[in-house]
Chain A
Amino acid sequence: MTNARPGLPEFDYIRPTGLDEACRYLKEHAGQARPFMGGTDTFVRLRDGVWHDTYLVDVKHLPGMRTIEFDAAQGLRLGAAASMNQVIEDPAIARHYPLLAEAARSVASFPLRTRATVVGNLCNASPAGDTTGACLVFDGLLEVHGTGGGRSIPLRQFFLGPGKTALASGEIVTALRLPPPPAGAFGHYLKLGRNALSDLAIVGVTALGYPDPSAGSGFRFRIALASVAPVPLLVEAAAELLCREPINESTIRAAADAAMAACNPIDDVRGGAEYRRRMVRNLVRQAVTEVWQRLQC
């Protein structure tokens, strides 16, 4: 990089007055315009020359985009532009989805989280997204608005590859919905970074467990992995094993091995593929053990 302090490249800041106007603008300027919320990833990519958009369409002030609502029957509706600090401080999230707050708290620093959003983290479709695992294990659903109206996309079907999502041209995610959490659920996010706080995940493991008398083991688990495949990964094989077999040290080891077998990491600047595979095994074992111990309390 020749300039030690690169400014942002030129673009126009667009502030639409409604969702329809925003979607129309994005559609009419497809390939040149991008929805803009916290900007914490967008600015870095524009500065680094990875993205070349000439219009940023600010959607965070539109109605409902920053609100967080919880209802015992419907679950959580998290406005797409609600900041990570809002998520961390929200009493309903702290009570019903503490795992989501725990994951958000592992992202960068407090000042960055004033701007960064959970839905932005999802739309960025980074395999390393810290909050993606929590949204996946809570079975999230995205509310999407486009020029043809609204639709919902299950989060499990949202990620198509690094940076690639199921959003069509002109579509904006307006909210993340999480159904009411399973009764008695406990979750944990374990992140391996270069330091204890703030860094990007070399490996991230999200585990959620809850009692279910219809399961062979009496419990069900959902396990998501970050930074070890082209997309965030839900490890069904490990979850099925923990549902079927009586849970003990040996089944937890087998589940961790299944997670290791399911991932497909790459070598990069943060860690080698083989190291990541082994860390998946170790961290899944640790996360499931901790959740399992809490479920028995």
Chain B
Amino acid sequence: MAQHLIQMTVNGEPAVAAVPSQMTLMECLRERLGLTGTKCGCAAGECGACTVILDGEPVNSCMVLAVECEGASVRTVEGLSRSGKLDPLQAAMITTGGVQCGFCTPGVLMTARALLDRNPHPTDAEIREALVGNLCRCTGYLPILEAVRSAATAS
């Protein structure tokens, strides 16, 4: 089966990887590029743990082929902090206790970042709707909602 050489921009840096057709973006990030912040939960687009921002839009990276990302720009949880300073969402998640086991956190952060990028001041209903595809089994969601709310207010 064919291998494809792909070039992407990942967190602002050029990245090159040789990938088979069936390799997902999630697998490419974790296994080829060593960016293991992106998690694999369900591999079926249900849990949101693998959410990254692809060309400005949030996607489940388990539902995108790496080979489709030739020339694309990808932002993962590793690219959220800038110059050693946490993104306001990351800081808020720590403050509110939105992180427990941490497995869903990278996906939650990327979905929430994409929400605030397109809608800097969402209502509670909009935050809930945006995060409907990010499953968390620890927090009961309320601290996560509070984190997004407070990051939106702070910005």
Contact = CB atoms under 8 A, between A and B. Distances in A.
A12 B1 contact: yes
Interface stretch (A106-114, A163-171, A175-183, A288-296): A106-114
A125 to B, nearest CB: 19
B133 A6 contact: no
Contacts of A6: 43
A39 B129 contact: no
Nearest to B134: A109
Interface stretch (A40-48, A223-231, A267-275): A40-48
Contact of B45 (A8, A9, A44, A85): A44
Contact of A115 (B44, B60, B134): B60
B58 interface: yes
B63 A198 contact: no
Nearest to B115: A110
Q: Is the interface of B mostly helix, strand, loop or mixed?
A: mixed
A280 interface: no
Given A6-B43, A109-B132, A111-B59, A11 B48 contact: no
Interface string A34-66: 000011100110010000000010100000000
Interface residues on B, range: 35 or more
Interface in B42-79: 43-45, 48, 51, 54, 57-60, 62-65, 67-68
Contacts of B23: 7-8
Most buried by A among B58, B62, B67, B132: B132
A197 interface: yes
Contacts of B59: 111, 114-115
B130 A44 contact: no
Given A110-B58, A111-B57, 11 more contacts: A5-B40, A5-B43, A7-B23, A8-B23, A11-B22, A13-B65, A108-B133, A110-B114, A110-B129, A111-B51, A111-B60
A112 B58 CA distance: 8
A71 interface: no
B37 interface: no
A249 interface: no
A81 B62 CA distance: 19
Contacts of B20: 10
A198 B63 CA distance: 17
B65 A111 contact: no
Interface in B1-53: 1-2, 4, 20-24, 27, 40, 43-45, 48, 51
17 contacts: A7-B22, A11-B21, A12-B21, A13-B65, A13-B67, A43-B45, A43-B63, A44-B45, A58-B68, A109-B111, A111-B58, A111-B111, A111-B133, A112-B63, A114-B54, A114-B58, A198-B133
Contacts of B27: 7
A197 B129 contact: yes
A109 B51 CA distance: 11
A8 B22 contact: yes
Contacts of B40: 5
B152 to A, nearest CB: 16
B141 to A, nearest CB: 12
Contacts of A115: 59-60, 63-64
Given A13-B2, A110-B133, A197-B132, A56 B21 contact: yes
Contacts of B45: 40, 43-44, 108, 112
Contact of A44 (B44, B57, B114): B44
B84 to A, nearest CB: 28
A39 B64 contact: yes
Contacts of B21: 10-13, 56
Contacts of A197: 128-129, 132
A22 B44 CA distance: 27
Closest 6 CB pairs of A and B: A109-B133, A13-B21, A8-B22, A111-B58, A198-B132, A114-B57
A28 B63 CA distance: 27
